[in-house]
Structure 1
Amino acid sequence: MAILLAPAIFMSAPAATITRLDAAATQDLHTNTSIAIGSDGMPRVAWGNAADGSFRFATCTALDCSDFTFGTVAGAVGTSASMVLDAGDGMLLAYYDTAAGALAFDDGSVRAIDDPTDDVGLYASLVLDGAGHPVVAYDDLSNASLRLAACVDAACTSVSIVTVDDDPLTIIGEHVDVAIGMDGLPVLAYAVMPGGALRVAKCTDATCASRTTQDLDQPSVGQFASIAIGADGNPVISYYDFHQQGALKVAKCTDAACAQPAIVSLLDDRGRQAGVFNAIAIRPDGNPVISYRRCFADAVDCVLAVAECRTPDCAGAVDLLTVDHRHDEIVGDSSDIAIGSDGAAVISYYDETTSSVHFAKCSVQTCAATGDGVFISGFEG
């Protein structure tokens, strides 16, 4: 398999306007962040508080989230949450109920949608299909396998659950992410361990009762997989290569099922752990933009970075940007990225050093344009 080294252009974003709004910086917020765009064009960010297992959210009332309202999700307790908005802008959460060892769902009321004797629900990834029905991919911890729950209605009162991938000799489903292809069917990207392979499962029916699987890259790869559907209908996956000190890679499938060899590109292998906590979105011009964390040699100075591909397959030139760097702090954890209503990328992420959640807004063109770099620190009220 040929791996392309994408020509990189290194850039630093202009000095950011940083506003500190949190009054609870000592809390441990480190689970994950999730971002979505409402029908009014405003971003919504959700995250977990590991100290008490609660989930919190901020509803932005400005495109750069310089103004927002803050809330806590009533009744939901756990970790590994994934958030989307329904047609009425209602917030939907899928998450791992750590106490019950179950996959839980919250649309205003909390209920388990997969609660076997076994322990399931970690790495929950939630999307809506074309009919607005929730689809959740997640890990079966007890059996080291990958599952998918396809709701048959918008409220998820009835669910079809299948094991998508299972091998007794491997750990399957780590860092799974799911998207809906242009055919309306789910496609999943995930890691196969311990050797490390990036695998894609393409469902051939709505419940994934039948599917195909394909390894796109190996070995020592696949963690933190994030999947988006390109303008051509083919999946694009960003992921972590954990060989040596780590790197960010992208695999661009050349068909909708990823059955043919993918175009694999190495984007960033500078510093340490470049590519952890990555998330991918597709800009209106069809080119991917990826948020991720990169650390310097001592691994106690970590930044939020962005890779902006200049081609849909990321094999051409790539702009590598340092978006948020605070000396001797660890920022950029648990990032998520979306494309705002104005076409600009927006990013939610976690500052591990100060235990706070941040928001970054790019311009329509790039995350390095003049006037970009608006950061709102600490959604905690």
Structure 2
Amino acid sequence: MRSFRAGYRLLALLLLLTLGFAPADQATLAQTPPIGSLVDANGDVGETSDLVIGQDGLGLIAYYDTTNQDLKVAHCKNLQCSQSSRAIIDSQYNVGKYGSIVIGNDGLGVIAYMDLTNRTLKIAHCQNVECSSATISTITSTLWVTFKTDIVIGANGFPAILYAEDDAIATLKYVQCHNITCSVSTITTLDEEVYGSFAGKMIVGGDNKVIIAYNKLIHHLSVELKFKYCNNEACSDVTTTQIYINPADIFSYILDITINSNNYPIISFYDIVQDHLLVAQCNTFNCSDYTINLVDSIGAESGTMSSIMIGFDGLPLIVYHIRPIAGVHDNDDLRIAHCENIACSSATITTITAHLGTFLGYHPTIKKGADNLGLFIYFDLINTNLRVVHCANILCTKEGQADFAQYLALVQAPITTFSLLINQQTIPVQPVAQQGQVFYQTTINVPSIVPTGGSFVLSADPDGQTPSLVDDAVVFKLNNQEVFRFEYTGSIAPSPTLVTIPNSLVAQWAGQTLTVEFHDRFAGQIQASTMYLVWLP
């Protein structure tokens, strides 16, 4: 059965090579109008925006209407987002700038944004999948939040927000919400003297800890790219790594961060001294070890604004703004780099727009769509409107419907293992504090698309070969309700076991965040091995 499936996969990949990997025709691209579908063209709209893929598999876009000073949301009607519905979410005062959006554990959008009139940080919790309406809360007041906020869902299942307080040289702060509307929160100061206008980005790492990349000013002489790894939910305990230094009092512009196919962070950023787009590939969860690679040095300003995702081939795809001639604002381009390995030491680069006018391709944001192809938005400053582009192939050399849509199921048919980390470190044998003690707890994010067939096991290694052990039970919970339990047994003490979880259960968990707990039962001793949820073909 496995070789049969692999044969079809090979056929599909050959079709991909025929249909989707042809090089872009640069001469033709140079003559075309701004690419992509219009999201909104009613006035000056979309200068700041953010994109997420909703629970329905369609794009959900939060953006600022400069003309009317409103926060708006657009909900895509298809995978290409060639049609969308729009809604005004907040119109009181001058609101909606520097917004960011994430999907909450309830499957609904959550938006963090700025109220410029009252200098407050606000949050909007969508009331439906389309986000035609929302509940709005004020988080902080008497501050100035500059440029983009950023938002993720933290380990407690509620939003976490990154923002810079004050205008120029700012203080970087982290908000841990204690409910979905963030009406109750804890605020932690992460660093001072950061560049507020280009503060940073964050994401939940492969070990379910929040990680942050940002620009730090050093004595008004230089700027460094820093990385913070949150050791707790409030991010009050952090591990900090200095990744890169720009040896001048200038910032690294707009960076982005995602998690690669090895479950480690990868950062796209701009070196303004060398005018290069760079990638920092972390080799550990906390980025204590990393590798920096050059992606693009063609042109005077390559990568001033970038956004990065991981494609279904497991390789990074970066969309970024470029200005071929320094200081000349009438020939800005938008480029796509498809990395040829996970560290992006080499890449195939395509110019998506060329010499079409001032600031074209500003503030791009790219996400992996439900079809596993790139979907990105950008601001067209010539026409002051917001556009969305759907990549038609892995390289994103053209837009529109997938070149290989009819073969997508074959291409995506998994033939290798798939794993989610549950417990990274062995818990040694030790006395139990009290009977029934929960001695370990974490959360895992199950992908919205999970493999079919095969089997899911709890293993002590990511390849699914080594039996796992908990003394006495492992428990899975969804929305605080127990959905799976396995008790390890043995003649004297619990024995390591390769625990099988029914495929039907995992299918129900797709797209959900689960809590995993290790429980004592008999008030004797506790211990646990490392643990992964592994799919075996």
Instruction: Report TM bin, short chain.
Output: 0.7 to 0.9
Contact 1:247 1:275 in 2 (8 A): yes
Counterpart position of 1:125? 150
**1:235 aligns to 2:265 (yes or no):** yes
Q: 1:52 aligns with which of 68, 92, 96?
A: 68
Q: Partners in 2 of 1:40 and 1:346 — Cα distance?
A: 15
Over 2 Å off, 4+ runs? 10-25, 27-31, 50-53, 85-91, 117-123, 129-132, 170-175, 220-223, 324-330, 369-374
Q: Partners in 1 of 2:282 and 2:40 — Cα distance?
A: 45
Q: Partners in 1 of 2:86 and 2:292 — Cα distance?
A: 40
Q: After the TM superposition, which residues 1-381 of structure 1 pair with which residues of structure 2 at under 5 Å, given as runs? A: 12=25, 24=41, 27-29=43-45, 31-75=47-91, 77-107=95-125, 108-115=134-141, 117-120=142-145, 122-141=147-166, 144-166=170-192, 171=195, 174-193=198-217, 194=220, 195-219=222-246, 222-243=252-273, 246-260=275-289, 262-297=290-325, 298-315=328-345, 317-325=346-354, 327-368=356-397
Structure 1 residues 248 and 11 mapped into 2: Cα distance closer, same or farther (>3 Å)? farther
Total equivalences in the alignment: 359
> What percent identity do the matched residue pairs reach?
23
Shift of 1:326: 5.5
Q: Partners in 2 of 1:231 and 1:184 — Cα distance?
A: 15
Contact 1:367 1:373 in 2 (8 A): no
Shift of 1:364: 4.5
Shift of 1:332: 0.7
Contact 2:36 2:399 in 1 (8 A): no
Shift of 1:21: 5.3
Structure 1 residues 133 and 235 mapped into 2: Cα distance closer, same or farther (>3 Å)? same
Q: Partners in 2 of 1:20 and 1:340 — Cα distance?
A: 16
Q: Max radius of gyration: which structure?
A: 2
Counterpart position of 2:484? none
Contact 2:211 2:228 in 1 (8 A): yes
Q: RMSD of the alignment, in Å? A: 2.7
Shift of 1:335: 0.9
Which runs of no fewer than 5 residues in structure 1 stay unpaired? 1-9, 375-381
Structure 1 residues 33 and 287 mapped into 2: Cα distance closer, same or farther (>3 Å)? same
Q: Partners in 2 of 1:84 and 1:330 — Cα distance?
A: 27
Equivalent residue letter for 2:336 = V
Contact 1:78 1:99 in 2 (8 A): no
Query: Which stretch of structure 1 is more off in the superposition, 180-189 or 337-346?
Result: 180-189
Q: Partners in 2 of 1:309 and 1:216 — Cα distance?
A: 20
Counterpart position of 1:7? none
Contact 1:12 1:323 in 2 (8 A): no
Contact 2:122 2:139 in 1 (8 A): yes
Structure 1 residues 49 and 373 mapped into 2: Cα distance closer, same or farther (>3 Å)? farther
Equivalent residue letter for 2:55 = S
Which runs of no fewer than 5 residues in structure 2 stay unpaired? 1-22, 126-133, 404-537
Structure 1 residues 344 and 171 mapped into 2: Cα distance closer, same or farther (>3 Å)? closer
| Richer in strand (by share) | 1
